[in-house]
Structure 1
Amino acid sequence: MKKKTVPSMIKDPHLIKKRREQMIKAAVHLFIEKGFHRTTTREIAKHAGFSIGTLYEYIGAKEDVLYLVCDNIYEEVRERLAQHLKQEGAGLERLKQAITAYFLVIDEMQDEVLVMYQETKSLPNEALKYVLEKEMDMAEMFELIIIDCLKSGELMITEDKVKLLAQNILVQGQMWTFRRWAIQRHYSLSEYTKYQISGLLQVR
């Protein structure tokens, strides 16, 4: 699906990027504190450091800010994973490294991930479909590595479980954020990652 175009009255791409990054940071803070529906665009503008008039030079509606938050998160995760997957390594070790990299980026973007999954339902249908497709794209990145592990005989699951394993990896990474109030009291990210890899892949 084609990426949603967020309207902007400004033509300078560098300025658009800068201002929207400020909006995203402010919106994440407010959405966590108040929720999407109770947050106003005026509050987002104020927390971002500019006027409501300036804000509407870079977006068309409040839903655009939520879309930018979601799109930014997926792009960040995808880019980091893609960079990692270009590195040397193969088979099971490569899969472990990919899971570790994914969990790390989720840890670094905990607030954004939490907002995304709490508020995605508020997106318009077109934007929601695009965001969900991005989720499937991430799953497919893991599916390709899992299939390589099957071919090398390092992972003992049947082909019909490849998609489920990929989805489980995504969910376990997200759980570090969703259940952080309980999990992070008892485990470091390194411990959590080690235990999840062991459980997911049935390896030591």
Structure 2
Amino acid sequence: MKRDVHATVKDERLILKRRNEMIKGAVTLFKEKGFHRTTTREIAKAAGFSIGTLYEYIRTKEDVLYLVCDHIYEEVRARLQQDLDTSQGTLDSLRAGILNFFKVMDDMQDEVLVMYQEVKSLTKDALSYVLEKEIEMVALFEQIIQSCANNGELEASGPEIKMIAHNIFVQGQMWSFRRWALRKMYTLPEYVDLQTRLLFRGLNIKTNS
């Protein structure tokens, strides 16, 4: 269940605006210093307003972390749903889905890194909520792979389809949190191509490359 973050301000548009500013500033700080070493005063300054104004939109620093994680997952899911075609059931649609997801991970690499470093600091209920969003995004890849299986493009059982979907998701995230090593060896297109070929090879699918 989505957590209700209390605000004393009633203007929904202003709440969204201020919280987006807060999230942007917090991501930079959490990346540089970590959640626990960052103060709410620093978050307010990075967002461009006073500490008093900050507390009109949240109650605790943990609220900020929750908003950051929730925002990141919503942004990733929105972009995935915009670009993924779960109905075609072709290898080309699966290949395009992998490419699009990895591009999103590249565009949002700072946010993804912060989320995986700091998500453990969320309360139990908040953690369950944001991680459930990840399961929902993995399910999008399950739908694509299942459609491919239904069309005879590949052979995979239900448990195998779930594992393939999780593997794709982790490979995309890996581009973000192991970029310090991977970028020395591959460009993003090279990384996407290699991971896709390895995936298809594991499924005994012949590729042209």
Shorter-chain TM range is over 0.9
Task: Specify the code of the residue in structure 1 equivalent to 2:110.
Answer: D
Superposed CA RMSD in Å reads: 1.4
List runs of 5+ in structure 2 lacking aligned partners.
Answer: none
Distance across 2 between alignment mates of 1:127 and 1:37: 17
Task: Specify the code of the residue in structure 2 equivalent to 1:188.
Answer: T
Q: Deviations over 1:13-61 (max 9, x none)?
A: 2111111111111111111111100100001001111000100111111
Residue 118 of structure 1 aligns with which residue? Answer: 117
Alignment of 1:1-204 (within 5 A): 2-85=1-84, 89-202=88-201, 203=205, 204=207
The structure-2 alpha-carbon separation of the partners of 1:150 and 1:89, relative to structure 1 and needing over 3 Å to count, comes to closer
Distance across 2 between alignment mates of 1:129 and 1:159: 24
% identical aligned pairs: 59
User: Contact 2:138/2:165 (CA < 8 Å) preserved in 1?
Assistant: yes
User: Contact 2:105/2:176 (CA < 8 Å) preserved in 1?
Assistant: yes
TM-score, normalised by the number of residues in structure 1 = 0.95
Distance across 2 between alignment mates of 1:156 and 1:199: 16
Distance across 1 between alignment mates of 2:85 and 2:160: 25
Aligned pair count reads: 203
By how many angstroms is 1:90 displaced?
3.6
Task: Specify the code of the residue in structure 2 equivalent to 1:195.
Answer: L
Distance across 2 between alignment mates of 1:125 and 1:87: 32
List runs of 5+ in structure 1 lacking aligned partners.
Answer: none
User: Contact 2:89/2:145 (CA < 8 Å) preserved in 1?
Assistant: no
TM-score, normalised by the number of residues in structure 2 = 0.93
Q: Deviations over 1:128-147 (max 9, x none)?
A: 00011011101111111111
Instruction: Tell me which stretches of 4 or more aligned residues in structure 1 moved more than 3 Å.
Output: 86-90
